Amino acid sequence: MDEQQKQLKGKVALVAGATRGAGRASAVSLGAAGATVYCTGRTTRSHISDIGRTENIEETAEMVSAKGGVGIAVQVDHSQESEVKALIERIVKEQNGQLDILVNDIWGGETLSEWGKPFWELSLEKGLLMLERAIFTHIITSRYAVPLMVARGQGLVIEVTDGDSDNYRGNLVYDLAKASVIRLAKGMATELKPKGITAVALTPGFLRSEQMLDHFGVTEANWRDAIAQDPYFESSETPYFIGQAVVALATDSNVIEKSGKPLATWYLAEEYGFRDADGSQPHWAKFFAAHPLGSKF
């Protein structure tokens, strides 16, 4: 066990939405640092959610354990209060009330986003469901998980979002969902900082997730072939990058100084020195500033 692994040994984390992408990478990275990680989501080996993808929480938990942590898969629909309550009761029982890290990565809006439409033409049914999955789930989960931290006077809540600024994200409902998560972190931080607990929002750049690779018809091995389809993909980052950001925050003894702030992987990489899986340090903000929308590459 190396020094990084030892840093989170004995810590207990909950990654809500650990099925794939940033959630899976966060869980695995925390496991590599020695943590016990509860990996939750709707998709299991025997039940695929309406997203229709085969990645599942059992796989994630096994990956956590393979990296040296303890992975525990629990099927939870975080929009259902009773299921979240039962999850937290289980953590209380199994971990003697200890919960050190909460990563709220629940999304579920992949099939609900309608790009290229003005808001008055969007499906109201899809929009409201997106808000339920992307915002209400975070509120419900924090409502039941944070009291465990308050009881011990320590903890870290990470709200995973998209973007670290007020820039419009191109779709009214999507923008509301992601901006609301940033606001949740700020509001929670205001109330939790006096209790010794940190809450932040964290965004990746252009995330090279399993689903995004499939969208472009490439794999991680030949992902650069997709740049011809979307030049911005050149500055994409793997989910591993945000996983390293989560660990960096979780192992920072002064992390409370960041409480309430919207943080980004590219700036945290500069501060903490971590790198992506290929050794690079992608910097989405610099790349986008050099190539604003509508510019020619």
What amino acid positions are annotated as catalytic residues?
174
**Rounded distance between C-alpha atoms, residue 30 and residue 11, angstroms:** 9
Q: What residue segments make up the domains of the chain, in order of their start?
A: 3-290
**Rounded distance between C-alpha atoms, residue 209 and residue 215, angstroms:** 10
**Rounded distance between C-alpha atoms, residue 36 and residue 24, angstroms:** 14
Length of the chain, in residues: 297
Q: How far is CA 54 from the centre of its chain?
A: 19
**Rounded distance between C-alpha atoms, residue 39 and residue 73, angstroms:** 5
**Rounded distance between C-alpha atoms, residue 169 and residue 181, angstroms:** 14
Those residues whose C-beta lies under 8 Å from the C-beta of residue 226, and which sit 6 or more positions away, are 213, 216, 217, 218, 233
For residue 49, the SS3 value is: coil
Q: What per-residue confidence (pLDDT) applies to 111? A: 87
For residue 280, the SS3 value is: coil
The answer to whether residues 282 and 208 touch, using CB atoms and an 8 Å cutoff, is no
pTM equals: 0.95
| Measured torsion, CA atoms of residues 38, 240, 49, 170, in degrees rounded to the nearest 10 | 120
- All residue ranges of the chain with pLDDT < 70 are 1-5
The answer to whether residues 41 and 27 touch, using CB atoms and an 8 Å cutoff, is no
The answer to whether residues 150 and 129 touch, using CB atoms and an 8 Å cutoff, is no
Q: How far is CA 260 from CA 2, 226, 278, in A?
A: 31, 36, 31
Residue range 3-290 forms a domain whose CATH class is alpha beta
pLDDT tens digit string along 91-138?
999 999 999 999 999 998 888 989 999 999 999 999 999 999 999 999
Q: What per-residue confidence (pLDDT) applies to 293? A: 78
Q: What per-residue confidence (pLDDT) applies to 5? A: 53
